[in-house]
C-alpha cells in the first residue's frame, strides 16, 4: 500500500514536473506565436544597439577632433599674440635706445625739409596754422620710428634716403595730406627694405604686429604704393645723391624765407606729432591715397 502511495506520489511529481516544462515551452511558443517577441524583433533590437553604439563612437571621435582643432587654433592664437608682444617689446627697446640720435646729421635735416615741402605743396591749410618747428619735430619723430625699425631689422640707417626718395616719387603723382604722412613713409620703408636690404627678409606680419595694423591693410598699402611709383624701384646711389643735392640747394635758397615766415611767439604744440602719427591708426588703408591701376583693382 505504502509502495503504491509512493509510486503514486512519484508519478504525481513526475507528472507535475513534465506538466510545468510543457507549460513553459507552451508559453514561449505562445509568445512567439502571439508575435510579442519575434526573431525579427530581436534582430532589430540588436541592430539598434549596434547602430547606437557606432553613432556614439562617431560622435566621440568628432568631438575629440573638434576639441583638438580648437586647442590647435587657440595655441596658434596664443603664439601669434606672444609673438606680437615680443616684437613690440623688442621694437620699443630699440626705439628708446636710438630716438633722437640722428637729429644732428645734415642728411636727416635735408630729408626732413623735403617732407615738409610735401605738406607745403599739398596741404598748405594745415601748415599755415603751425610753426615750422612744430611740423619738423613731428617729421623727426616719424624718422626716429623708421630708423628704429631699420635697426631692428639689421638694416643700415642710410636706407632713410631711398625711403624718402621713393615716397617723393609717390607724392609727386598722388599728393599727400598730413594724416597720410606716417603710413606713406612706413609703406615706403617696407618696399625699400624688400628691394635694397640684404639682411633678414621683411615680414609684413611682424611690422603689422609692431604698429598694430591689420596685415591686410599693410599688404594693401604696399600694393597701392607700388602702383603709385609704377613699380619703378630701380635707382642708383648716384640718383640718390643727386636727389639729396637738389634738396640741399633748395634749402640754401629758401632757408631765410622759412625762418622769417615762421618766426613768431607761438609755443611748440606737442599734439602736432600725435596728430600726424596717431590719426593714421584708425584706418591705415585710407591714409595711403588710392592710385588706380590694373594691379590695384
- The string of pLDDT tens digits covering residues 144-189 is 999 999 999 989 899 999 999 999 999 999 999 999 999 999 999 9
Instruction: Say what the pLDDT of residue 293 is.
Output: 47
C-alpha cell at 53: 553604439
pLDDT above 90 coverage of the chain, percent: 36
Q: Can you state the angle between helices 132-152 and 181-196, rounded to 10 degrees?
A: 30
Closest CA relative to residue 224, chosen from 149, 160, 287: 287
Residue 178 in grid coordinates: 598730413
The span from the CA of 117 to the CA of 112, in Å, is: 9
Q: By the 8 A CB rule, do 146 and 160 touch? A: yes
pLDDT band with cut points at 50, 70 and 90 for residue 275: low
pLDDT at position 28, please? 46
What is the average pLDDT across 81-108? Answer: 86
Comparing CA positions, the residue from 213, 216, 221, 211 lying closest to residue 188 is 221
pLDDT tens for residues 99-132? 888 777 888 889 999 999 999 999 999 999 899 8
Residue 144: per-residue pLDDT: 95
Of 43-57, 135-149, 189-203, 243-257, the least confident: 243-257
Task: State the pTM of this model.
Answer: 0.66
Of residues 139, 197, 137, the one with CA closest to residue 167: 139
- For residue 192, the model assigns a pLDDT of 94
Highest mean pLDDT of the ranges 42-51, 133-142, 242-251 = 133-142
Find cell 635697426 and name the residue. 151
The reported pLDDT for the residue numbered 14 is 47
Give Cα 133 to chain centroid, integer Å. Answer: 35
- CB–CB of 123/180 below 8 Å? no
- Given a contact cutoff of 8 angstroms between Cβ atoms, the answer to whether 197 and 155 are in contact is yes
- Judged by DSSP in three states, 283 sits in coil
Residues 6+ apart with CB under 8 A from 87: 206, 209, 210
Q: Are 136 and 255 in contact (CB under 8 A)?
A: no
In CATH, the number for domain 103-287 is: 1.10.472.10
Residue 76, pLDDT > 60, answer yes
- The pLDDT score that the predictor gives to residue 36 is 61
Amino acid at each position: 500500500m505504502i509502495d503504491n502511495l509512493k509510486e503514486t506520489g512519484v508519478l504525481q511529481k513526475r507528472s507535475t514536473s513534465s506538466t510545468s516544462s510543457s507549460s513553459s515551452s507552451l508559453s514561449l511558443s505562445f509568445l512567439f506565436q502571439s508575435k510579442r517577441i519575434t526573431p525579427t524583433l530581436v534582430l532589430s533590437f540588436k541592430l539598434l544597439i549596434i547602430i547606437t553604439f557606432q553613432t556614439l563612437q562617431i560622435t566621440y571621435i568628432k568631438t575629440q577632433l573638434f576639441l583638438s582643432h580648437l586647442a590647435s587654433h587657440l595655441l596658434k592664437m596664443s603664439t601669434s599674440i606672444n609673438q606680437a608682444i615680443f616684437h613690440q617689446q623688442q621694437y620699443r627697446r630699440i626705439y628708446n635706445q636710438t630716438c633722437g640720435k640722428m637729429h644732428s646729421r645734415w642728411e636727416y635735416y635735408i630729408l626732413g625739409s623735403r617732407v615738409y615741402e610735401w605738406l607745403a605743396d599739398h596741404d598748405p591749410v594745415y601748415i599755415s596754422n603751425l610753426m615750422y618747428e612744430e611740423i619738423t619735430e613731428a617729421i623727426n619723430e616719424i624718422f626716429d620710428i623708421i630708423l628704429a625699425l631699420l635697426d631692428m631689422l639689421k638694416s643700415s640707417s642710410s636706407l632713410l634716403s631711398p625711403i624718402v626718395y621713393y615716397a617723393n616719387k609717390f607724392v609727386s603723382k598722388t599728393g599727400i595730406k598730413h594724416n597720410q604722412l606716417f603710413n606713406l613713409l612706413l609703406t615706403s620703408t617696407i618696399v625699400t627694405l624688400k628691394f635694397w636690404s640684404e639682411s633678414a627678409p621683411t615680414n609684413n606680419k611682424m611690422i603689422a604686429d609692431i604698429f598694430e595694423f591689420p596685415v591686410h591693410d599693410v599688404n594693401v598699402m604696399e600694393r597701392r604704393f607700388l602702383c603709385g611709383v609704377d613699380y619703378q624701384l630701380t635707382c642708383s646711389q648716384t640718383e640718390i645723391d643727386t636727389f639729396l643735392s637738389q634738396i640741399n640747394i633748395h634749402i640754401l635758397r629758401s632757408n631765410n624765407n622759412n625762418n622769417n615766415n615762421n618766426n613768431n611767439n607761438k609755443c611748440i604744440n606737442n599734439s602736432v606729432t600725435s596728430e600726424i602719427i596717431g590719426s593714421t591708426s584708425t584706418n591705415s588703408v585710407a591714409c595711403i591715397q588710392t592710385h588706380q591701376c590694373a594691379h590695384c583693382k
